[in-house]
Amino acid sequence: MTAQQTPPDAQQVRHLNLYHGEEVIDNYHWLRDRDNPATIAYLEEENSFTAAAMAHTEKLQDELYHEMRGRIKETDLSVPMLIDGYYYYSRTEQDKQYGINCRRRGSMEAPEDILLDENELAEGLEYCDVGIYQISPDNNLLAFSVDTQGDEIYQLRVKDLRTGEMVADRLENVDDAAWSTDNTTLFYTTLDAAHRPDKLYRHSLGQPVAQDVLVYHEKDERYYAGIFLTKSKDYLILTLGSNITSEAHYLRAADPLGDFRVIEPRQQGVEYSVSHHDDYFYIVTNLDAINFRLVRSNVSRPGLQDATEIIPHRPQVMLDYISVFRDFLVTYTREGGFRKIRVYNLADGTNHEVQFPEGEPVYSGGSGGNPDFNTQILRLYYTSMVIPSSIYDYDMIARSWVLQKRQEVMGGYSPQDYSTELIYARAGDGTSIPVSLVYRDGVRTNGPAPLYLTGYGAYGSSSDPYFSTNRLSLLDRGFIYAIAHVRGGGEMGRAWYEAGKFLQKKNTFSDFIACTEHLLAEKYTTSDRLAIWGGSAGGLLMGAVVNERPDLYHAVVADVPFVDVINTMMDPTVPLTVIEYEEWGNPADPAYYEYIRSYSPYENTRAQAYPHLLITAGLNDPRVGYWEPAKWIARLRDRSTSDNRLLLRTQMGSGHGGASGRYDYLKEIAFEFAFVLDVMGMQ
């Protein structure tokens, strides 16, 4: 394809939407039709133009790519996990894009069994992602699922680990799966036309899929279904949930032909999650507890109403989740934005807080994967903006630590050469907004520096501080890297989330702007040296803040951005839209319509000087339709009054998460970093 030197001029075709009596004209609505040859042609023109606009940075892209690749240990091994006498682990090999999943019986000196080589699965494919990875309770079978398009539509397959052969069974359109303890029955969920997991089936190995039994069908379009086997392996739990309401059903795992029974019927706004231990279900719930509490219910009469409270609600402490073991219960909470971990000894009733040995002022940590029920060893992860990802084993009796692995940074790295801090910006309503920062020592003494500010702020998801080898390519060029912990996320508890959703969503945007203004006022950076990044719902954040305050930013990277909010939310046929009503609000209600309409980035794009923008999309993206960024770039080109670069890059063979191969992913990051460095004149 010949690189295109002039920006594409998207055809404008008048399309009228009538929303609550208001005529809303969408001249780029036609881009939703991917079967229209003109749509694909337009996306390819945009890709060609972006390639031409970035051609002069190819040397820089290559330099960045090799820097980032040079920092990773290409041939590496994960920390083995002991389960039922087997050490399970994954490893990577130099020049191979994907992992190799293995195990050894009894010890790591035993012969290696390769369970699944993802490189073989991916051979000849542009995209390959393994979703489900479930070993049967008797350790003889592996159920795994594969997506080869990036559309998150997976096929489930089963491998006999005794023979190394694939069994004939193939289950299509699978979202989740779990084994029963008879080792021949699989329960699995499938997706409906709106990409919602709505049906639970029972499959017997070796039997035709046509004979699979429909166990449950969730007809409420707000709810999605999941299935898992408890760590105790005693129960299968069918989970049904909307964004704000939960329901769970249970079945003895040894009785796969039995009937699921409800634990607690759904009540609007009541959430709960279930773990099992002996005669009890341990339930984390927000019933009468905005930050959640822990109760215990007898399996013979499960439910929330007569449950015994184990850990009461605490207004300043968010109970995120728990891990249950034979002799211990572990809670993971947030206090003041930071993770706290507490171990409860179920035998003697004592408890103690786990103190990470690092002592960093800005950090994150939590469960490192704890599938073994019968152990006193708690596996935890720890990281900070300067400490590479670390895996610890913590002895819950001896209260001792063993560092099992710390991410190696090849080519030399010293945490002492970098500094991290936590500062606070003040929002317009007086709320203090945390901002995590990292930079190379000496950067702050040289005056304002180039700064890369990121944010998300949705779904109660926490943007915790973490270490990144890729980020070093910016830090070593003098950048400050910052994370704005805006409302809508979960960093400061459930109320923090609630204050950034529904009719308070604009707090997310104003918080980010407040963080920006604080960084400028404190001379961390200047507007002409400030770049920002956000993806998906964080891409919505990018769109909203550049509409509101384009003067604050020099460059914006928006990955798969959710920017056509009002048109998407008004169309329940778009995948996942109905589920999203409980995050953004249902615009069928005029109050929500007016509010969403007032911040939707596409609808509010107007004649003003926009900063440099790099926008990405995935043609097969089921979460944010490719047309949202495509329509946005077209409208930006039509209305921006600046000469700044407006670029769209669509991955034609992948989806929401971008490239699946680890090297291809690095090339995407190198491209984005090169864009930022180039528009800042830092080649």
Q: Collect all residues with Cβ–Cβ distance below 8 Å to 338 and sequence separation of at least 6.
A: 363
CA distance 67 to 201: 47
DSSP state of 681: T
Using the structure block, give the residue that is written with the tokens 């909203």: 544
3-state SS assignment for residue 298 = strand
DSSP state of 492: T
Confidence tier at 529 by pLDDT (50, 70, 90): very high
CA distance 159 to 118: 13
pLDDT > 90 fraction of the chain, expressed in percent and rounded: 97
The tokens for 30 are 């036609």
Say whether pLDDT at 672 is over 60.
yes
Q: Give the strands of the sheet with 480-484, arranged side by side.
A: 418-426, 432-440, 480-484, 451-455, 530-535, 555-559, 612-618, 646-651
pLDDT of residue 359: 75
| Tens-place pLDDT, residues 382-431 | 999 999 999 999 999 999 999 999 999 999 999 999 999 999 999 999 99
pLDDT > 70 fraction of the chain, expressed in percent and rounded: 100
3-state SS assignment for residue 524 = coil
Can you tell me the mean pLDDT for 84-102?
Answer: 98
C-alpha torsion angle, residues 517, 522, 525, 526 (rounded to 10): 60
- Catalytic: which of 463, 536, 600, 660? 536
Confidence tier at 362 by pLDDT (50, 70, 90): confident
Phi, psi of 290 (to 5 degrees): -60, -35
Nearest to 32 by CA among 658, 648, 573: 573
pLDDT of residue 220: 97
Say whether pLDDT at 1 is over 80.
no
Say whether pLDDT at 250 is over 70.
yes
Largest CA distance in the chain: 73
CA distance 231 to 369: 11
CA distance 359 to 631: 47
Whether 315 and 334 have beta carbons less than 8 Å apart is answered as: no
| Tens-place pLDDT, residues 483-514 | 999 999 999 999 999 999 999 999 999 999 99
C-alpha torsion angle, residues 505, 510, 512, 515 (rounded to 10): -150
CA distance 471 to 463: 16
Known catalytic residue at 656 = yes
Q: With the C-alpha atoms ordered 195, 200, 202, 208, is the resulting torsion angle positive or negative? A: negative
Whether 163 and 666 have beta carbons less than 8 Å apart is answered as: no
pLDDT of residue 3: 63
Can you tell me the mean pLDDT for 367-383?
Answer: 96
- Catalytic: which of 203, 485, 612, 656? 656
Domain boundaries, the chain: 16-69+418-679, 316-409
Can you tell me the mean pLDDT for 439-461?
Answer: 97
Known catalytic residue at 536 = yes
Whether 173 and 190 have beta carbons less than 8 Å apart is answered as: yes
CA distance 679 to 547: 20
CA distance 646 to 8: 11
Using the structure block, give the residue that is written with the tokens 């773990």: 275
DSSP state of 13: -
Nearest to 328 by CA among 343, 311, 309: 343
> How many whole angstroms from its chain centre is CA 201?
27
Nearest to 179 by CA among 211, 156, 209, 198: 156
| Tens-place pLDDT, residues 592-607 | 999 999 999 999 999 9
DSSP notation for 233-252: SSEEEEEEE-SS-EEEEEEE
Whether 558 and 629 have beta carbons less than 8 Å apart is answered as: yes
Q: To the nearest whole number, what is the mean pLDDT of the chain?
A: 97
CA distance 206 to 204: 6
| Tens-place pLDDT, residues 259-315 | 999 999 999 999 999 999 999 999 999 999 999 999 999 999 999 999 999 999 999
Superfamily of domain 16-69+418-679: Alpha/Beta hydrolase fold, catalytic domain (3.40.50.1820)
- Catalytic: which of 621, 640, 654, 660? 621
- Three-state SS for 356-395 is CCCCCCCEEEEECCCCCCCCCEEEEEEEECCCCCEEEEEE
pLDDT of residue 2: 54
Say whether pLDDT at 587 is over 60.
yes
CA distance 152 to 175: 8
CA distance 563 to 585: 15
Say whether pLDDT at 212 is over 90.
yes
CA distance 296 to 306: 9
Phi, psi of 255 (to 5 degrees): -125, 65
H-run or E-run covering 677? helix 662-679
pLDDT of residue 361: 75
Q: How many CB atoms lie within 10 A of CB 247?
A: 22
Known catalytic residue at 313 = no
Q: Which pTM was predicted?
A: 0.97
- Count helices and strands (H / E) in the chain: 12, 38
The tokens for 252 are 């003895």
Half-sphere CA count of 121, side-chain side, radius 13 A: 26
CA distance 502 to 460: 12
The tokens for 304 are 């929330």
Q: CA angle at residue 589 from 584 to 591, to 5 degrees?
A: 80
Q: At what angle do helices 506-521 and 590-599 cross, to 10 degrees?
A: 30
Confidence tier at 56 by pLDDT (50, 70, 90): very high
Q: How far is CA 162 from CA 115, 139, 322, in A?
A: 10, 9, 34
Confidence tier at 360 by pLDDT (50, 70, 90): confident
H-run or E-run covering 42? helix 37-53
